[in-house]
Amino acid sequence: MRFTVSTRGFCDIIDITSRIEEAVRKSGIKEGICIVSCPGSTVGITTIENEPQLLKDFKELMEKLVPSDKKYHHDDVWGEANGFSHLRSSLIKPFLTVPVENGKLVLGQWQNLVLLDFDNRPREREIFVKIFGK
Ligand code: ZN
């Protein structure tokens, strides 16, 4: 299955946990794995506690690791000035695998699945969810 998410870009963080849980429930699969993937070279998927101060920390971490106000070689190529967006995506990666047990995602109590949009403009993102098992 797949679904679409509208983002504001600029390290927008969107909780997609309930959408993925719903996909697992609908699949009827009790034991297996769930792969979540977003096609795109300026997007990321990770897990984090969905707590506003921590989300702020995460955004600040991205600024420290790959500053958005620095000039990157890629910025000269297309004139998009989103070199930092691509580098963040490569670091975080745009896919994730989570085990499924007893028909549910195996996640910690405060562990949420989030989509990160690193691009420098609002985007429509399509998220693919593949569930394998029995
Ligand atoms: Zn680019």
Residues 39-56: pLDDT tens digits?
999 999 999 999 999 999
Q: What is the pLDDT of residues 93-132, one digit of tens each?
A: 999 999 999 999 999 999 999 999 999 999 999 999 999 9
Among the ranges given (30-34, 61-65, 73-77, 102-106), the one the predictor scored with the smallest mean pLDDT? 73-77
Question: Mean pLDDT, to the nearest integer, of 72-91?
Answer: 94
Distance of CA 77 to the CA centre of its chain: 26
Q: How far is the CA of 96 from the centre of ligand 1 (A)?
A: 23
Q: What is the pLDDT of residues 8-38, one digit of tens each?
A: 999 999 999 999 999 999 999 999 999 999 9
Q: How far is the CA of 37 from the centre of ligand 1 (A)?
A: 19
Take residue 132 and report the two structure tokens written for it.
Answer: 């394998």
* Contact (Cβ atoms closer than 8 angstroms) between residue 118 and residue 84: yes
Take residue 14 and report the two structure tokens written for it.
Answer: 């969107």
pLDDT at 79: 82
**Residues β-bridged to residue 35:** 97, 130
Take residue 110 and report the two structure tokens written for it.
Answer: 């405060």
Q: How far is the CA of 86 from the centre of ligand 1 (A)?
A: 7
Which residues are within 5 Å of ligand 1 (an ion), measured at CB?
A: 80, 82
